[in-house]
Amino acid sequence: MGPKQNRYRTGNQSLVREINLSAIMNRMHKHAPVSRSALAEMTGLNKTTVSSLVQELIDHQFVREIGFDTAGTGRPARLLEFNPEAGCIISAEIIDTGFISVICANFTNNIIWRTKETFDHKSNPQTAIRRLFTLLHQAVDATRTVYGPVLGLAVGVPGLVDHKSDTLLFAPNLNWENVPLGVLLREEFGRLVFVDNEANLAALGEYYFGAAKECNNALYISGSVGIGGGIIHGGQLVTGATGFAGELGHMTIDPHGELCSCGSRGCWETLVSQSAIFNRIQQAIDRQQPTILSKKGNGNSDQLTVSALSKAARAGDKLVLTVLEETACYLGIGIASLVNVLNPELVVLGGIHCSLGEFMLPTIKQELKHRALRWSAKATRVVLAQQGSDACVMGGLARVYQAILAQPGAVTN
């Protein structure tokens, strides 16, 4: 919302109040510490309105006064900032490799508590959700006495989410279907709750806190057991008609290729996911190709890990470097098509593609240059994610924070 629009908006008083509160919260998020008169200038609201709204935010303990701005020539103005003890935001990720990650942040987005625990990803969803709830309760118990009540909660999942009901419709690598996660979370925690695809949240995480900061048109690629994606357009996450946008992993690259977990053949993820990389390495080991990996894992692909691959690549292991180059080639082919379609200014490689990115970036960039329209390729940078394995939980934090900034009344009333 442009600041000037506020002046002309008429009608529902409480809606106007909510919009104005949101305008102040958003400016504070970007510019704090800031004075009331600076807020008036930035929002286009008059000083009396700003003072009364700021008082409301102080009464709800979202905002606090700190010191004076002595830079000007007039009377020093009181500076305002968000109160870190206004409340907590909890964000979790269910990871299809068998981990649940939970963070809790204070109201100034500093992480004050975190844990990452295993769960049996071959078990039924009920068991995993019980584990998730135990960890969420631990986060609440560990933080509420110091940092205030839980204001909202987000959970990232490796699958398709129906945004109307917050139901996890399908998580191919967990083999879960129709899990009403949003309903269960609300029953248990009764607060502002968001459930979203992990790659969508990770894209938000990189947009708010990482590599895509200040970048309004970005594409995030999340590499794991599968491949997911999140598209940021005009500073907003693109959801598509029913919330499923960004399922990049299931673009067909080879119509006669391997069977994918989605039921189709030759999807991008069958060529560039963690399993695809591990399989290529395993096949090369089976062909007796020399590598420092086979000594360690006795040639068993179950023993392969991304960090072992990274170490081997760094040590100059020819087999690993060749497999990563082949993978980078397929990554570049997919990225070139996506760049032609979306014309992003930034492509962010997350997950395993970030961990192994330093060995793949040159080939990816080369493929992009050769295959995308040269004007689009020129406008796009390809970079590695900055939030690493935290991207999704940081995005969950951003999602809740964004909702509070847009509608402070939802948690104050």
Q: How far is the CB of 96 from Zn ion (least distance, A)?
A: 14
Provide the pairing of β-strand 63-69 with 227-233.
unpaired
Place of tokens 């996660």: 181
Distances in Å between the Cα of 205 and the Cα atoms of 23, 85, 231, 388 are 22, 22, 12, 10
Residue 158 touches Zn ion, criterion: CB under 5 A: no
Residue 61 touches Zn ion, criterion: CB under 5 A: no
| Amino acid at the residue 150 | V
Place of tokens 């939970």: 102
Q: Which residue's CB is nearer to Zn ion, number 174 or number 260?
A: 260
Break the chain down into helix, strand, coil percent, rounded to 5.
50, 25, 30
- Distance, in Å, from the CA atom of 373 to the CA atom of 363, rounded to the nearest integer, reads 17
Burial degree of 400 (CB within 10 A; 0-12, 13-18, 19+):
buried
Which listed residue (267, 271, 281, 328) binds Zn ion by CB under 5 A?
A: 267
Which of 6-14, 140-148, 227-235, 265-273 is the region at the interface with Zn ion (rule: CB under 5 A)?
A: 265-273
Is the separation of the CB atoms in 169 and 372 below 8 Å? no
Residue 228 touches Zn ion, criterion: CB under 5 A: no
Residue 250 touches Zn ion, criterion: CB under 5 A: yes
Which of 25-33, 42-50, 79-87, 247-255 is the region at the interface with Zn ion (rule: CB under 5 A)?
A: 247-255
Residue 264 touches Zn ion, criterion: CB under 5 A: yes
Nearest Cα to Cα of residue 32 among 1, 69, 72: 69
Q: How far is the CB of 262 from Zn ion (least distance, A)?
A: 3
Which of 2-10, 108-116, 249-257, 293-301 is the region at the interface with Zn ion (rule: CB under 5 A)?
A: 249-257
3-state secondary structure 47-83: HHHHHHHHHHHHHCCCEEEEEEECCCCCCCEEEEEEC
Q: How far is the CB of 266 from Zn ion (least distance, A)?
A: 8
Structure tokens at 357: 């990115």
Which of 39-47, 126-134, 235-243, 267-275 is the region at the interface with Zn ion (rule: CB under 5 A)?
A: 267-275
Helices 274-286, 318-342: axis angle to 10 degrees equals 150
Residue 36 touches Zn ion, criterion: CB under 5 A: no
Q: How far is the CB of 250 from Zn ion (least distance, A)?
A: 4
Which listed residue (42, 260, 336, 392) binds Zn ion by CB under 5 A?
A: 260
Which of 8-16, 143-151, 260-268, 400-408 is the region at the interface with Zn ion (rule: CB under 5 A)?
A: 260-268
Q: How far is the CB of 247 from Zn ion (least distance, A)?
A: 8
Sequence-ordered list of residues with C-beta below 8 angstroms from that of 16, at least 6 positions apart, any chain: 6, 9, 10
Is the separation of the CB atoms in 259 and 216 below 8 Å? no
Which listed residue (183, 215, 238, 262) binds Zn ion by CB under 5 A?
A: 262
- Distance, in Å, from the CA atom of 98 to the CA atom of 102, rounded to the nearest integer, reads 14
Q: How far is the CB of 267 from Zn ion (least distance, A)?
A: 3
Q: Which residue's CB is nearer to Zn ion, number 260 or number 323?
A: 260
Q: Which residue's CB is nearer to Zn ion, number 155 or number 335?
A: 335
Sequence-ordered list of residues with C-beta below 8 angstroms from that of 298, at least 6 positions apart, any chain: none
Residue 248 touches Zn ion, criterion: CB under 5 A: no
Q: Which residue's CB is nearer to Zn ion, number 148 or number 257?
A: 257
Q: Which residue's CB is nearer to Zn ion, number 192 or number 267?
A: 267
Which of 39-47, 55-63, 175-183, 254-262 is the region at the interface with Zn ion (rule: CB under 5 A)?
A: 254-262
Q: Side-chain half-sphere of 98: how many Cα atoms within 13 Å? A: 6
Residue 253 touches Zn ion, criterion: CB under 5 A: no
Which of 43-51, 257-265, 288-296, 402-410 is the region at the interface with Zn ion (rule: CB under 5 A)?
A: 257-265
Q: How far is the CB of 264 from Zn ion (least distance, A)?
A: 5
Place of tokens 């895509």: 212
# chain residues binding Zn ion, by CB under 5 A: 5
What is residue 33's three-state secondary structure? coil
Footprint on this chain of Zn ion (rule: CB under 5 A): 250, 260, 262, 264, 267
